[in-house]
Amino acid sequence: MKLLNISLIAAAIACAAFAPAHAADNMDLDVTITIDKSCDVTSTGDVAFGNALASAGTVDAVGGLVTVQCTIGVPYDVALNAGNNGGSDVGARQMLHTNGTDAIAYQLYSDAGRSEVWGNTVDTNTVEGTGTGFGGPAFNRTHPIFARATIPGESPVGTYSDVITATVVF
């Protein structure tokens, strides 16, 4: 019996000697991402003065929300250009009649008192904000447009319009 035990032990040792050896080595790897600053104008709304009489005077409107989303903490400016009919001067905005000749002057403002013309020169007449992130409506930053049209009194009946471009600068 003793011989059998010694034989079994010897066989076990022999088998262990032929078993493959396992070795291990490791190395770390980095996983990274860089978030770039970014901003989007996600929507704009129209400014509608509605129906007005042809008598001389001014008509005010509020509307045309400019909605922006930006990377968290990114400062931005929202600029409004002079429109299709005002050349490059935000002080000369005008809506043209469908006849292409007659015009009604108007202005867009960043404040309810209509004293701050909303233009397109950063740090001068744009609207500033700071980004809070991207995603659903909770991240929207809305900026209302206050408007005033000046009716000269001799305007022909019809529709007058212009197109403004909103740009977010960051």
Cβ atoms 149, 56 nearer than 8 A = no
Is position 19 within any domain?
no
Is position 10 within any domain?
no
Is position 20 within any domain?
no
Angle at 76 between CA 37 and CA 68, to 5 degrees: 85
Q: Which range, 2-6, 12-16, 116-120, has the best average confidence (pLDDT)?
A: 116-120
Is position 92 within any domain?
yes
Is position 1 within any domain?
no
Give the containing element (helix H, strand E) for 2.
helix 2-18
Number of domains in the chain: 1
The pLDDT tens digits of the residues spanning 23-80 come to 999 999 999 999 999 999 999 999 999 998 778 899 999 988 999 999 999 999 999 9
Q: Report the percentage of the chain scoring pLDDT > 70.
A: 88
Is position 29 within any domain?
no
pLDDT at 4 (0 to 100): 47
Whether the pLDDT of residue 159 is over 90: the answer is: yes
Calculate the average pLDDT of the chain: 90
At 2, is the pLDDT very low, low, confident or very high (cuts 50, 70, 90)? low
CATH for 103: 2.60.40.1090
User: Which amino acid is present at 108?
Assistant: L
Is position 7 within any domain?
no
At 140, is the pLDDT very low, low, confident or very high (cuts 50, 70, 90)? very high
Residues 154, 120: Cα–Cα separation, whole Å: 31
Is position 32 within any domain?
no
pLDDT at 47 (0 to 100): 96
User: Which amino acid is present at 139?
Assistant: F
Which residue has better confidence, 150 or 2? 150
Residue 138 domain boundaries: 39-169
pLDDT average, residue stretch 120-148: 96
